[in-house]
Amino acid sequence: MTQETADEAAETNGLPKGSFRVVSKQELFEQADLLSLHVVLSERTKGIVGGEDLARLKKSAFFINCSRGALVEEEALFEVLEKGKIRGAALDVYWKEPLPKDSRWRSTKWSEDGRSDVVFSPHMGYVNIGTIHAWYVEQAENIKRWQNKEELLNVMN
């Protein structure tokens, strides 16, 4: 990402040039008040957020992961939150899904004794009424396509 690309994206979306500022990963973690991770998991991105990155977050910062658990080093995140080094985290994805009933993530008393606030959701954080509606419309379309022996939309194995 270059600043030029960021400026073009801003203008394309009706925002003034300079609305987005391109920074290094280090600067991003040091300056973010809220850091929301949206990255595809691949061999290249596995563990992309490590202990050094999390240590750069401000004590008042919030960390959100709605992408994949394996993007973040689990032990490093647990330690940062358990020690209350950041304000909190919202996790919609985990290193093992579903999150096991006996997971320390479930049994730790978050928001107590100096620990960070932690909010969990069952990998459904992206769902809203618009998404659900689009899924229903697509399913209806796929039924019509199936009846007409046409190619189906968005088929996954």
pLDDT digits (tens, 9 = 90+) for 17-73: 999 999 999 999 999 999 999 999 999 999 999 999 999 999 999 999 999 999 999
**Which is the catalytic residue, given 75, 97, 138, 150?**
97
Residue 25's contacts (CB-CB under 8 Å, 6 or more residues apart) are: 53
Dig out the tokens for 103 from the structure: 């997971």
Is residue 56 flagged as an active site residue? no
**Distances in Å between the alpha carbon of 97 and those of 62, 70, 124, 134?**
22, 11, 12, 25
Dig out the tokens for 109 from the structure: 């008393």
**Which is the catalytic residue, given 56, 87, 115, 123?**
123
**Over the stretch 70-90, which tens digit does the pLDDT of each residue have?**
999 999 999 999 999 999 999
The DSSP secondary-structure symbol of 72 reads B
Dig out the tokens for 82 from the structure: 């358990």
- The architecture of the domain spanning 32-125 is 3-Layer(aba) Sandwich (3.40)
**Distances in Å between the alpha carbon of 115 and those of 20, 79, 84?**
32, 10, 4
Is residue 38 flagged as an active site residue? no
> Domain spans of the chain?
1-31, 32-125, 127-157
